[in-house]
Amino acid sequence: MEPTTSLAERILDAAAEIVIGDGVDALGYGTLAESLGIPRADVTAAYPVFERLLADLLTRETADLTQIVVDNVDRDPRGGLPSRIFGYALSAVYEHPLARALYIGDPDGLNRIMRAIDGVTTLPQLSIHPELLGALQAAGTARHDFDATAVTAVITVLGSGVSMSAPGQHLDSVASGLITLLERAVDAEVADTAAGKAAFFRYAETLADTGGPR
């Protein structure tokens, strides 16, 4: 049975606040019931499988972050370039409270959530995927002299390293450095990035529909 929409949303809102305030380890049926001021049985009735709650929480966060990036890419005349898309994605993670809590405050907790929901549902795609870079190459806004899978792996490792180790006051400068690397090594020299924007929007639709490619 699908959880009641209004109660499910309230539960997810409470779950986000708990993770933001106290970390993933504090999240459970008991703390959710206490936060909402309702019986524990109401929470378990809405989400009898706790992993489904975790999956819905991450899926909703992925959708929110994707929409932020889509809006920024759409407004930016140069938004179809890989460096711009990555820059907006990085900013969205750092500026969105739940994403920041998971990626920067509690990356181990994020990993535990991802392991818990694997096999329960499609894992939400929270990183740049080779499919996107390949699409940008086909659109002409990314250079063709690099391997999309290899570059994606480097971006993922560097982005994770920034979130786990960079002092908060230096995040902007470190992120700027990563974006500069992409500008010089990955962005194509094009006057019009509309084709890259269109490729990204198509990719973003797959995130909204399915949680993204695995």
pLDDT digits (tens, 9 = 90+) for 167-193: 454 566 767 888 888 899 999 999 999
Query: Do residues 45 and 7 make contact, with C-beta atoms less than 8 angstroms apart?
Result: no
Pick the more confident residue, 197 or 163. 197
Confidence of residue 126 (pLDDT cuts 50, 70, 90): very low
Task: Give the mean pLDDT of 34-63.
Answer: 93
Assess whether pLDDT exceeds 80 at residue 2. Answer: no
d(CA 59, CA 121): 10
Summary mean pLDDT of the chain: 84
- Residues 59-81: pLDDT tens digits? 898 889 889 999 999 999 999 99
Which CATH fold would you assign to the domain 1-48? Answer: Arc Repressor Mutant, subunit A (1.10.10)
Instruction: Give the percent of the chain with pLDDT over 70.
Output: 81
Torsion of the alpha carbons at 52, 56, 59 and 60, rounded to the nearest 10: -170
Nearest Cα neighbor of 197 from 141, 152, 146, 148 is 141
Confidence of residue 111 (pLDDT cuts 50, 70, 90): confident
d(CA 149, CA 129): 8
- Residues 9-31: pLDDT tens digits? 999 999 999 999 999 999 999 99
Pick the more confident residue, 180 or 94. 180
Task: Give the mean pLDDT of 74-103.
Answer: 90
Assess whether pLDDT exceeds 50 at residue 212. Answer: no
The 3-state DSSP class for residue 47 equals: coil
- Residue owning tokens 């480097």: 154
What's residue 1's pLDDT? 44
Assess whether pLDDT exceeds 70 at residue 136. Answer: yes
By the 10 Å C-beta count (0-12 exposed, 13-18 middle, 19+ buried), 76 is classed as middle
What's residue 110's pLDDT? 80
Nearest Cα neighbor of 128 from 113, 150, 104, 102 is 150
What's residue 128's pLDDT? 64
What's residue 186's pLDDT? 94
Q: Where are the domains of the chain?
A: 1-48, 61-210
